[in-house]
Amino acid sequence: MLNSKNVTKEKLQHNFFFFLLAIMTIAGLFLLSPYADVFFVAIMFAILFKPMHRGILSAFRGRKTLSALVATLTVLLVVLIPLSFFGFQIFEEAKDLYIVIANSDLQTNGAANIGNALQRYAPQLAPALSADIGQYIVKGLQWVVTNLSTVFSSAVAIVVNFLLILFTLFFLFRDESVFRKTILALSPLEDAHNEELLNKVELAIASVTKGTLIVSLLQGVLTGIGFAVVGIPNPVLWASIAAFAAMIPAVGTGLVIVPAVAFLFVTGHVVLATVLAIWGFGIVGTVDNVVRPALIGKGINIHPLLILFSALGGLNFFGIIGFFVGPVVLAVLFALFEMYPKIVQNHEGE
């Protein structure tokens, strides 16, 4: 009887502990969830610049704090500060574009020009579409105003997140071995499987991040060059929008290039529209078809269609950062599928 009471008490303690652990884990995740994007961006930078940090650590003979500080400052100088200046330039161009549009007679003249072009190239559609051109332009202006105000209001949040990313990155560099040992200790898998899984996660993050960022940067720059050549104003602004659109697999810079080509065409600049179309789909598109698979394929072997849906799903759940999170989650899932036969085989062998 006494032994039965002890077993019941131990079981109660066991259940209560795991109930409390589950509740506190949920509470902890709830508290940290607003900064999930900060953690993920910092982890991306930590993995991308891991070789550099290892070199600095070796040069400073294992001084972790000093090495982490130097590595963090290097990331600041090489990546974040240039991005900040580029973002400021984009903001200035967006502001100038809005002022020009707001103070011009674009609604009247623009509607007339587009209506004339429709009458010339598509007379059957002209009566139906011309009546709504002014309304579409007004809606477009309202969209610009709304989104610019969003950028203004989020400036403080951007600065705070910027500092939090640097702060987190410093500790990821300094305490990398501690974090890794903690993860290995908490995982019930064998050490060999844990190491394999961590290595695959790092490889997936590095491959997806490098592939996405490099391809987006190249396509954004090439799109900006094309826009500048054909005379479309504010090429830096459109290049940044194209770089963002390039993160969407299978859709990409077409979201920016197609409307620009259509605008040039309906406004009578047929030659410029043809040049931009050839440049956009012949040169810019080639980067996505050749460079992206070469970079991402080195780390993960996933069909482009699955990468597309994982990126869109990540966008739906996590916002902009979901473009990176989605493919990484899918890559980890595929890594687990690859490990599954090994784990089952080891379990059956026991």
Domain contains 155: yes
* Residues 164, 132 within the same domain: yes
Count the alpha carbons within 13 Å of 126 in the hemisphere toward its beta carbon: 15
Which H, E and C letters describe 122-163, residue by residue? CCCCHHHHHHHHHHHHHHHHHHHHHHHHHHHHCHHHHHHHHH
Domain contains 45: yes
On whether the pTM is more than 0.75, the answer is: no
Low-confidence ranges of the chain (pLDDT < 70): 1-7, 80-156, 249-250, 293-294, 296-301, 346-350
Domain contains 24: no
* Residues 108, 167 within the same domain: yes
* Predicted local distance difference test score (pLDDT) of residue 128: 47
* Predicted local distance difference test score (pLDDT) of residue 98: 59
Q: Helix or strand or coil: residue 257?
A: helix
Give the amino acid at 171.
Answer: F
* Residues 157, 219 within the same domain: no
Domain that holds residue 177: 32-186
* Residues 42, 133 within the same domain: yes
Q: How many beta carbons lie within 10 A of that of residue 163, not counting itself?
A: 10
> Radius of gyration over alpha carbons of the chain, in Å?
26
Place of tokens 């330039």: 89
Domain contains 72: yes
* Predicted local distance difference test score (pLDDT) of residue 53: 92
* Predicted local distance difference test score (pLDDT) of residue 168: 94
Number of domains in the chain: 2
* Residues 280, 331 within the same domain: yes
Place of tokens 């012949």: 282
Residues 214/215/218/219 CA torsion (nearest 10 deg) = -150
* Residues 161, 232 within the same domain: no
Question: At which of 171, 186, 201 does a domain end?
Answer: 186
Burial 168-200 (b: 16+ CB within 10 A, else e): bbbebbbebeeeeeeeeeeeeeeeebbebbeeb
* Residues 207, 108 within the same domain: no
* Residues 142, 247 within the same domain: no
* Predicted local distance difference test score (pLDDT) of residue 174: 93
* Residues 85, 210 within the same domain: no
* Residues 339, 257 within the same domain: yes
* Residues 131, 207 within the same domain: no
Give the whole-angstrom CA distance, residue 149 versus residue 147: 5
* Residues 180, 196 within the same domain: no
